[in-house]
Amino acid sequence: GLCLFPEHGQDAGQLVRFAEMAMYTAKSEQRSYALYDPGSDSRSPKTLALGVQIQGAIDDGQIALVLQPMVD
């Protein structure tokens, strides 16, 4: 897996984590390599913002869980 300094990270630990994520992406897609894609990171700013919006909607009662029993 590949990642770029300083575009993808500023410290060695972060770069290694991103390179590992890219490696697993390459393996899952049966490719010899992959470049880290910040959009695919579950902790990307976009994903975190979406999580905050969803939690806000739940807190405001805009999203509700509805269950329907299954009868055999």
Residues 38 and 29: their CA atoms lie apart, in Å, by: 17
The residue ranges of every structural domain in the chain are 1-36, 42-67
CA angle 50/20/30 to nearest 5° reads 95
For 30-66, give the DSSP string: T-S--B--GGG-TTSHHHHHHHHHHHHHHHTTSS---
Q: Give me the pLDDT at residue 45, please.
A: 67
pLDDT of residue 44: 67
Tokens (6 digits) for 31: 């490719």
- pLDDT tens digits along 52-68: 899 999 889 999 889 99
Average pLDDT (10-30) is 90
Mean per-residue pLDDT over the chain, rounded = 88
pLDDT tens digits, one per residue of 34-46: 999 887 776 666 7
